[in-house]
Amino acid sequence: MFIFEETPQPVMKYCLLYLFVIVFSFTASGQNTSDASAEKDTLQNVIISAFESYHKLLDVPAPVNLLREKQMQQTNNLSWVRAMNNLPGVNMDERSPGSYRLNIRGSSIRSPFGVRNVKIYYNGIPMTDPGGSTFFQILGPYNATSIEIIKGPSGSVYGTGTGGVVLLSDVPDKSGIRFSDTYGSYNTNSMGLAANIVNDGKKISFKYNRQSSDGFREHTKMYRDVFSMNATLVNREKFKLENYFLYGRSYYQTPGALTLAEYKANPRSARPHAGPNPSADEAKAAFTLNYFLSGFKMEQQITNNFKNYVVLYGAYAQNRNPNFRNYSRTSEPHFGGRTDFTYSTLVNGRALTIDFGGEYQHSFNGQRVYKNNGGEPGAPQTDDEIQNTQAFAFVQAQLELGKGFLASVGTSVNFLDVDFQRFYDESLHYKRSFRNEWAPRLSLSKQINEDMTVYASVARGFSPPATSELLPSTDIFNTTLQAESGINYELGWRASIFSRRLFADVNIFNYNLKNAITQKRDASGGDYFSNAGKAVQRGLEVLISAQVVDRPVGILNGVSLMLSGTWHHFAYKDYKPGSNDFSGNKVPGVSPVKLAFSGDVYFVSGTRLNVSWLYNGKVALNDANSEYASDYFLVHAKLYQRLRLGKGNTIELFTGADNMFNTIYSLGNDINGAVGRYYNAAPGRSFYGGISLDL
């Protein structure tokens, strides 16, 4: 067994101080009644915006999971990783502090880093650029009040993509000021400040988050600053205008993946010097990002039956990335808009809703690559410009059929043009229009009673290669890569039982994928992509949320539990690269089994305890299935104490521990890494403590 270095003594003292205050408050007066009863609510009544439906979660005929602010705050206030990983079918990796990878049903096979093949919206604004990539790492743990995750192809309303859709909402629900500060192991600090004004239907919110860390591994320092402002400019009976603004800058060092021997010898080490390839420290490998996003959303009630919203936005990203191969500088501006018209009426006394609209995005990116001279740009190697134009039009109808049946049918037609031009050394001009693709979706749900619904759906997904897949870090433009597509069949069941104290969500799916895009790495760490013929993806996903105690009983004010389970069988069906035959092999990077549990205990004194654990099965690391990352089991805990400071003001002290049993595991493996470089060790046992003030 490997023993990680224990947490420094100052951090232990810091956390023990908070623990003492919490225990003292708990044993003191019981007059400090918690707000837990107000927080305790089950999922069935939450309104979901996915597929423009605005139905209760119980009635949404689609595989949708929801994270609310309460669930996000159960973790260490440093990232969404733990909260995301508690959901079935969803995995979020943190390869090093600040470097995230989001995986919905195996989509990370296309993501050596970042987020690809998953469409992300921020307050209705397309955050994913028309090249198919999202700078998810710019977001801090305070940049959303709720997160909806749609799993599987959703092109009928959201355009291209086979992985899924994430809808981030950051809208205040009450006036006030919140300050939060967290300090923990590895010199990690996260500070958040928010000021919200809610008055007469108008809302304005200012948020700032500063985060820094030395990291668990060598060469993993990071910092991030994020500022956001959301405002309702006009809110009349039939007209509403909102503005959203987000600016962030981040820097994080990239330690590189280790071989198994290096991982066993010292999991905290960064990638060493090997042959002609420099070490992480010699290369000064890091990623610097400046990011800006701003947009307007206008909603208008045209008639009693007809309404419309329009989103217009602009975004700009500037990157600097010295790495093991080279030094790249990119400028990535893009702009676009989205509109949706909704017509509602009654047909023979039954509700009919028709949505139609479209989305348009255009980017004009510049990428220059140089030799990496110890973290500084050297001799120029390439000078490229890439323009992407992506657009789609959609239509969707939902009709009540009577006797509890609800039918939804929708489709979109998608367009993507890529214009690539290389100016330096050798001239290359390449234009490509991906074939116009239809992405239909049909679902049928049956409401058994007001507390139980079953549904079935069939949807076609279409996902063209992202710009970063056509032009990966090898700097060789791939003119042969094809779009992947497939048909997904889904069955689901949702129920609220035992006097609505238990909510269950179960879905099974079968997805047949053609031309699946897979990622590989060369010896220098450069990534490149190819099509893998056919793949089959099957799975079962379960989420159970329960209120075991929902009223004061002795010293308890409430007990809530959440359990999720995932079983995935993803395998190549027809994949014969070169002389190899990987048909029947598991798709790498996908865990076949994941189990997660989270429990909250509320005390009448204002104390709250959260305990969670996660089991993740072993993962194939390459197409040949010759190497596997070990399974792992993690246990986390967080203890809070809430104190009242007069009417409407509270202070919350908290302390916690992650990975309490010091498990050694790799999070964010480099799939198909050359010479066996797969492993990115995750932090060992760590502690944190902090304070949150609400006024």
What's the mean pLDDT in 353-368?
Answer: 94
Could you tell me the pLDDT band of residue 35, with boundaries at 50, 70 and 90? Answer: very low
What pLDDT is attached to residue 530?
A: 79
Name the token pair of 299. 């909603």
**Phi, psi for 6 (deg, rounded to 5):** -70, 160
Residue 690 has pLDDT above 90, yes or no: yes
Which domain CATH number covers 649? 2.40.170.20
What pLDDT is attached to residue 22?
A: 39
Residue 14 has pLDDT above 80, yes or no: no
Count CA atoms closer than 13 A to 563's CA, side-chain side: 6
User: How far is residue 356's CA from residue 339's CA, in Å, rounded to a whole number?
Assistant: 8
Q: Tell me: the pLDDT tens digits for 561-583?
A: 999 999 999 999 888 887 889 99
Name the token pair of 605. 């004194």
What pLDDT is attached to residue 107?
A: 63
Residue 270 lies in a domain: yes
Among 327, 329, 323, CA closest to 283: 323
Name the token pair of 666. 């790799």
Residue 3 lies in a domain: no
Look at 409 and 58; give whichever has higher pLDDT: 409
Number of structural domains the chain divides into: 1
Q: Tell me: the pLDDT tens digits for 475-485?
A: 677 778 888 88
What pLDDT is attached to residue 54?
A: 83
Look at 397 and 59; give whichever has higher pLDDT: 397
Widest pairwise Cα distance in the chain: 77
Of all residues in the chain, the percent with pLDDT exceeding 70 is 91
Q: Tell me: the pLDDT tens digits for 275-322?
A: 888 999 999 999 999 999 999 999 999 999 999 999 999 999 999 999
Residue 515 lies in a domain: yes
What's the mean pLDDT in 135-154?
Answer: 91
Q: Which residues contact 52 (CB under 8 A, 6 or more apart)?
A: 157, 340, 342, 355, 396
H/E run at residue 563: strand 556-574
**Phi, psi for 22 (deg, rounded to 5):** -65, -45
Could you tell me the pLDDT band of residue 30, with boundaries at 50, 70 and 90? Answer: very low
What pLDDT is attached to residue 524?
A: 59
Residue 551 has pLDDT above 80, yes or no: yes
Name the token pair of 101. 């990878």
Could you tell me the pLDDT band of residue 20, with boundaries at 50, 70 and 90? Answer: very low
Q: What angle (nearest 5°) sits at the alpha carbon of residue 22, between those of residues 40 and 635?
A: 65
Residue 601 has pLDDT above 70, yes or no: yes
Residue 24 has pLDDT above 60, yes or no: no
Are 89 and 104 in contact, with CB atoms under 8 Å apart?
Answer: yes
Name the token pair of 238. 């039939």
Q: What is the DSSP string of 480-492?
A: S---EEEEEEEEE
What's the mean pLDDT in 384-405?
Answer: 93
Are 653 and 676 in contact, with CB atoms under 8 Å apart?
Answer: no
3-state DSSP assignment of residue 46: coil
Determine the structural domain holding residue 644 and report its residue range. Answer: 9-694
What pLDDT is attached to residue 577?
A: 81
Residue 526 has pLDDT above 80, yes or no: no
What pLDDT is attached to residue 521?
A: 67
Residue 196 has pLDDT above 80, yes or no: yes
Q: Tell me: the pLDDT tens digits for 415-444?
A: 989 998 888 766 788 888 887 788 999 999
Mean pLDDT lowest among 100-114, 224-238, 449-463, 538-552: 100-114
Q: Which residues contact 463 (CB under 8 A, 6 or more apart)?
A: 117, 132, 160, 161, 162, 163, 483, 484, 485, 517
Are 687 and 274 in contact, with CB atoms under 8 Å apart?
Answer: no
Residue 240 has pLDDT above 50, yes or no: yes
Are 357 and 394 in contact, with CB atoms under 8 Å apart?
Answer: yes
Average model confidence (pLDDT) for the chain? 87
Residue 4 lies in a domain: no
Could you tell me the pLDDT band of residue 109, with boundaries at 50, 70 and 90? Answer: low
Residue 28 has pLDDT above 50, yes or no: no
Residue 638 has pLDDT above 50, yes or no: yes
Residue 1 lies in a domain: no
Could you tell me the pLDDT band of residue 550, with boundaries at 50, 70 and 90? Answer: confident
Q: Tell me: the pLDDT tens digits for 43-75?
A: 667 888 888 888 888 888 999 999 988 888 888
Name the token pair of 43. 């999922």
Most confident of 154-163, 389-398, 529-538: 389-398
Residue 538 lies in a domain: yes
Among 54, 63, 122, CA closest to 443: 63
